[in-house]
Structure 1
Amino acid sequence: MGEPNTIAEVYAASFRRLIVHLYAVTGDLNEAQEVVQEAFVRALSAPGRFDQLENPESWLRRVALNLAHTRYRRRRTLDRLLRRVGPPPVVPEFSSEHVALMAALRQLPAGQRHAIALHYLVDLPVEEVARTLEVSVGTVKSRLSRGRTALAALLAEPAELVGAGRK
């Protein structure tokens, strides 16, 4: 049953039942969908094992339940820790400029985006960015330079809008 078509058939036949069951267990539809999807990802990552299963839906149900229980325990532990440290700090609302910057950053290649975020947003020195990204200092400097140039182009206002705003 490990062939993609067979896994697709199991998915089509059992996904809804699994979601209904996990929703009843977790009380959260999004959580149910996530753990069921993760169970299918695990099936796809080991198709040979999945092929040997007598009852694939039962295996998927067990995996999804285990994932739900693990996530619940982790969330409960995090909740206890958060209660000890008190309420989270107030996060100010983001300005339109900040939203535009985040949108522009998403358009950059991953290397440039990571370097810019670590250096300019997290305030890490270039050497620490290089260690974090496991690249040379020169590579970080190059990514920062190219990223700044790309961001400037992405964030520049079109000439028509600049002229129209002055009337």
Structure 2
Amino acid sequence: MTPQEFDAFYAASFSRLTGQLYALTGNWSEAQDVVQEAFIRAWDRRRTFDPGNAPEAWIRTTARRLALSRWRRLARGLHLAGRHHRQEPPTVEPPTEEHLTLVSALRDLPEAQRSALVLHHMCDLSVEQVAAETGATVSAVKSRLARGRTALAARLADQSPTSEEGKLRV
């Protein structure tokens, strides 16, 4: 991939990838940071990328791993400091109430289910592609999707507004 092709790829996919990572992490600034870091790492490897080689999947996987590593470091640091409470990161107001409700419900799911749901439904990856990105088997991804959908539907039903005009469209 030439520098010009990489620039075009960056311009076309940064916002989409940041939105996907926001759904995974629940923190807008964290999503921007890890996607940016993934693009920095990709710059050194750009010659090995080719548009048919799914460079977006590489960026998304790298960003997801960076976010997980940051979360582990933070959790380890909090544990070592003797803190046993979880501090909520500052949130950025989403464009709609529905978006906030969805991200909140996703945040409550186990990481494996959340990743499977976001990669499959938001990133439009097939079950096989999700399995390849996460290192899970196809049957494990199908199970995570089924369990995740059930849990997400229950959480969204619990969080939906009671007024007719404010109901979530799921």
TM-score by length of 1: 0.47
Q: Which has the higher contact order (CA 8 A, sep 6+)?
A: 2
Larger Rg: 1
TM-score w.r.t. length of structure 2: 0.46
Structure with greater helix percent: 1
